[in-house]
Amino acid sequence: MSNPYETTYQESINNPEEFWGKAAEDCYWLKKWDKVLDDTKKPFYRWFTGGEMNTCYNALDCHVDVEGRGDRTALIYDSPVTNTVARYTYAELRDEVALFAGGLSRLGATKGDRIIIYMPMIPEAVIAMLACARIGAIHSVVFGGFAAKELATRIDDARPKIIVSASCGIEVKKIIPYKPLLDAAIDIASSKPEKCVIFQRTQLTAQLTKDRDIDWGDLMKESSPAACVPVLATDPLYILYTSGTTGQPKGVVRDNGGHMVALKWSMKAIYDIDKDDVWWSASDVGWVVGHSYIVYAPLFKGCTTVIFEGKPVGTPDAGVFWRIIAQHKVKCMFTAPTAYRAIKREDPRGEMIKQHDLSHFKILFLAGERSDPATVQWSEHNLGVPVIDHWWQTETGWAIAANCMGLKPFPVKYGSPTKAVPGWDVQVLDLDNQKLPAGEIGALSVALPLPPGALVTLWENDDRFIEAYLREFPGYYKTADAGMIDDEGYIYVMSRTDDIINVAGHRLSTGGMEEVLAAHPDVAEAAVLGVHDALKGQIPVGFLVLNSGVTRDHDEIIKEVIAMVRNQIGPVAAFKSAAVVKRLPKTRSGKILRGIIQKMADNQEYNMPATIDDPVILDEIGEALEGLGLAKARS
């Protein structure tokens, strides 16, 4: 008997037009496509050319008007930082979105105009995104609280007609005023928006700029609901900026049709989610996970999605995830491994988990960075559910590799996100663009064409799209991740390609060493990076964050982890240096800033990244580097 995954995967690779055409039949179209896959302008492949539809209609209206499920809860807003829980049915959310869409139209926004959304994790952020989609405007969500300079670069690139923002965000107990940041960004930017819509939160009232700023509430009172505007499947839905090596962010462009088809299909195939389920993606709408799996995919599917304004620890404690899962009867959760490492550090024995009824909870999904086996095993042990690591990127929009729980799941192999998801032809290549055999580390790449839902280009920069993703490995998309595929088809994402270090001629993965360090019982999380060494070229250096309550001598723990690396990877790793730190420098989305630490260690200049969650952490890292006898560069 054939395996459902294997059958589905082979169909998607051998006959992608038939496969995705069938998936598209599950969506609502105003006009059927002329061609499922248009390859007439390689490498700019397009899906469902000639088709007409509306993303907002497929996320909201169809459930109300066609399927008769308007009273089904679409969105649960849970904000422990404001002590608020609010629910919106599909009908209620549709009405709010239609009214705000009417407001945007009243301000002059039309199909193809760009609208920047700079908001905290509140329902109005979701409403604004869907309202843009409703009238065919292109939204570009910028993480709330981003520095003015970084917001200004996005304003200049997207040239928005309107910016939608809020008076403030809330970080644990600290109020972050957004309006001064927005005003400063507009002052810096060459391109000026015509209007700004400001949602006034009760925690802080912003001063509005005369003739430019409009109060959200006033706009809603003065507007009429807007109908869904037909768009082409190939029209842009949104621009999402991701960091670029030049310092100029890259505007990833997602289309309407392919995005809708792929994301709706993924909810059942990958996550095993049905219409009556409650789904929670603990991310932010400023990141790709928030776009794909807080807003669009769950609403396409017709299930309930949770939007969470808080932190895994500190709002109020390390038990907030379990409270939300129990209270809202969440079936599946998706978050970054760093969130669970933070919880594990505060509650290493999982005592807070036992205080809640998690009987409705069936699967935990992790993504965003490497899911170290120690964190996966801790979660499995304490939650008693499958813990599924999966791999994807801002550019891909959805999972490249995963254990597809809606097909036939495979046994978990720790350190692997399992196999390529249907639609993704993943290969391991050497520097000569040749496929490598099973078990050999190389550049993880995806054969073209990419499946629906992946980026189609960079905003107004086709040349940079080709240079950044397609030129190095002709015929493939460069993921910039290094790894291997074993003889059973399991993919291992070892590290970014620039995190493969060369120690005396031996290519070694820092990710593999991190897995060893994280397995130590006293270690909550770890980072390993390669620093320059005159003799060996590079040597690995480790940084350890210990579990809460660990009082053992740090030098003893360091000796133990060094011995573990020697035993499990071998003396060839030359792992002899490590330091204990209180925290690791991370982006707001939870990714460890290994490149910054490496530049500090190699005495190179670096720019303070706009996405860093707390710049003060770098001072502690610098002190640790000095303690190890390594240099510390200044930003």
What is the tens place of the pLDDT at every residue in 338-347?
A: 899 889 989 9
Q: Which domains does the chain have, with CATH numbers?
A: 4-310+390-483 (3.40.50.12780), 504-627 (3.30.300.30)
pLDDT of residue 533: 74
**Whole-angstrom distance, CA of residue 263 vs CA of residue 254:** 12
- Which helix H or strand E contains 601, and what residues bound it? helix 594-601
pLDDT of residue 616: 75
pLDDT of residue 516: 87
What is the average pLDDT score of the chain? 92
- Which helix H or strand E contains 218, and what residues bound it? helix 216-222
Residue 635 has pLDDT above 70, yes or no: no
| Arithmetic mean of pLDDT, 509-521 | 84
In whole angstroms, how large is the CA radius of gyration of the chain?
24
**Whole-angstrom distance, CA of residue 635 vs CA of residue 632:** 10
Residue 572 has pLDDT above 90, yes or no: no
- Dump the DSSP string for 328-366: HT-SEEEE-HHHHHHHHHH-TT-GGGGGS--TT--EEEE
pLDDT of residue 146: 79
pLDDT of residue 358: 98
| Arithmetic mean of pLDDT, 211-225 | 98
Residue 151 has pLDDT above 90, yes or no: yes
Residue 633 has pLDDT above 90, yes or no: no
At 618, the pLDDT band (50, 70, 90 cuts) reads confident
Q: Which residue do the tokens 């979701």 mark? A: 126
**Whole-angstrom distance, CA of residue 105 vs CA of residue 102:** 5
pLDDT of residue 9: 98
pLDDT of residue 118: 97
**Whole-angstrom distance, CA of residue 353 vs CA of residue 325:** 10
pLDDT of residue 497: 55
**Whole-angstrom distance, CA of residue 235 vs CA of residue 341:** 40
How distant, in Å, are the alpha carbons of 105, 318, 325 from that of 355? 49, 12, 12
At 271, the pLDDT band (50, 70, 90 cuts) reads very high
- Between 466 and 595, name the one with better pLDDT: 466
pLDDT of residue 3: 87
At 499, the pLDDT band (50, 70, 90 cuts) reads low
| Arithmetic mean of pLDDT, 362-388 | 92
Closest CA to 470 of 45, 15, 10: 45
Q: Is 581 exposed, middle or buried (0-12, 13-18, 19+ CB in 10 A)?
A: middle
- Which helix H or strand E contains 530, and what residues bound it? strand 523-533
Share of the chain above pLDDT 90, in %: 75
| Arithmetic mean of pLDDT, 299-316 | 97
Q: Which of 93-97, 583-587, 603-607 has the lowest mean pLDDT?
A: 603-607
pLDDT tens digits for 534-560? 666 678 899 999 998 899 999 999 999
| Arithmetic mean of pLDDT, 60-75 | 98
pLDDT of residue 629: 83
Q: Which of 69-78, 82-91, 518-527 has the lowest mean pLDDT?
A: 518-527
Residue 504 has pLDDT above 70, yes or no: no
CA 587 to chain centroid, in Å, comes to 12
**Whole-angstrom distance, CA of residue 280 vs CA of residue 297:** 11
At 515, the pLDDT band (50, 70, 90 cuts) reads confident
| Arithmetic mean of pLDDT, 146-171 | 94
Residue 430 has pLDDT above 60, yes or no: yes
pLDDT of residue 583: 87
* Amino acid present at 417: P
pLDDT of residue 20: 98
pLDDT tens digits for 232-258? 999 999 999 987 555 578 999 999 999
Residue 224 has pLDDT above 60, yes or no: yes
| Arithmetic mean of pLDDT, 599-623 | 76
**Whole-angstrom distance, CA of residue 482 vs CA of residue 499:** 8
pLDDT of residue 323: 98
Q: Which of 140-149, 216-225, 302-311 has the lowest mean pLDDT?
A: 140-149
